Amino acid sequence: MKHFISLTDLTLKDFREIFQLTEELRNNPQRFNQVLGGKFIGLLFEKPSLRTRVSFEVGINQLGGKAIYLSSQEVQLGKRESIGDVAKTLSKYLQGVILRTFSHQSILEFAKNSQILVINGLTDLLHPVQVLSDFYTIYKRKKDLKAIKICFVGDGNNVCNSLILGSAKLGLNLWVASPLGFEPDKDVIKKALQIVKKTRAKIRILNNPELAVKSADVLYTDVWTSMGKEEERTWRREVFEEFRVDKDLLRLAKKNCLVMHCLPAQRGEEISSEILDSKNSIVFEQAENRLYVQKALLAWLFRR
């Protein structure tokens, strides 16, 4: 069984198939309304969610399946009972689980003990469903992904890590600018550098946002303080001050540069309201595409 834990689980052919399936699904949704007929998919979320939960629940139902939401209070992974025991138990009731957890190790342990499909809905290390959808959104706008410069400015978090791994797999040109000490995960960078030897992707990790943004076709940012680190918010604002996406920073990118944010956004912190609501911004298009791409991903995974 092939789980979806990281974008490195996909080949270039897989990306193409999922994007093609997304197009087919958008154009002819009725054709896919029983792809998950009779299947029950669990949403096991340790972290609260708006976009991930709603888009998956709606998508599963539109594909003919049934979504069952399981909160952290109900399951308590690794506390009330072991992660392995939870995985083995749910494997007897469900056909798939979408897991959203604080620890990446938790999803690895869950997948190891699961007899059903496991999809990574977010961990502290990676957010592959978000970035898979983001690449589709960029593709719809720019077509030739290899011909553009993508820039991520901000905390080297799970979204950034998945952007790096996905860009490496797809052979893209990605520039990342984070404050000193807040760079992307070292093991992720190491893995990406191994991948680029084959794909010839260009991955640059900098501490200078102005240099990274120069002539960018796509400018991506995310919150400075991730969920679970709220007590760090005050001092993080000071550290990240120069990494705010505002009109001065955007001016360094190409005139028609697309601005992306996975949401929720802290307006006035990592991005100004002026830019978030500007004609360059495609953040709500991003959010919409989560539904289509995740439906395609589910259909693709269950067809295998």
Q: Shortest CA distance to 169 belongs to which of 21, 5, 14?
A: 14
Active-site pick, 222, 236, 261, 286: 222
Is 100 labeled as catalytic in the residue annotation? yes
Radius of gyration of the chain (CA): 19
| φ, ψ of residue 105 in degrees (nearest 5) | -60, -30
Active-site pick, 51, 53, 104, 130: 130
Active-site pick, 100, 104, 244, 261: 100
Q: Would you say 74 and 64 are in contact if contact means Cβ atoms under 8 Å apart?
A: no
Q: Would you say 235 and 272 are in contact if contact means Cβ atoms under 8 Å apart?
A: no
Grouping H, G, I as helix, E, B as strand and the rest as coil, residue 170 is helix
How far is 76 from 245, CA to CA, in rounded Å?
37
Active-site pick, 127, 236, 244, 261: 127
Is 104 labeled as catalytic in the residue annotation? no
- Strands, sheet with 218-221, edge to edge from the N-terminal-most edge strand: 202-206, 173-177, 149-153, 218-221, 258-261
Is 31 labeled as catalytic in the residue annotation? no
Is 222 labeled as catalytic in the residue annotation? yes
How far is 172 from 145, CA to CA, in rounded Å?
7
How far is 233 from 243, CA to CA, in rounded Å?
15
Is 127 labeled as catalytic in the residue annotation? yes
Active-site pick, 151, 160, 257, 262: 262
How far is 34 from 280, CA to CA, in rounded Å?
37
Grouping H, G, I as helix, E, B as strand and the rest as coil, residue 290 is helix
Span between the terminal Cα atoms of the chain, in Å: 9
Taking the CA of residue 237 as centre, how many other CA atoms within 13 Å lie in the half-sphere pointing to its CB?
8
Active-site pick, 3, 51, 104, 290: 290
Type of residue numbered 299: A
Is 262 labeled as catalytic in the residue annotation? yes
Q: Shortest CA distance to 47 belongs to which of 110, 103, 118?
A: 103
Residues with active-site annotation: 100, 127, 130, 222, 262, 290
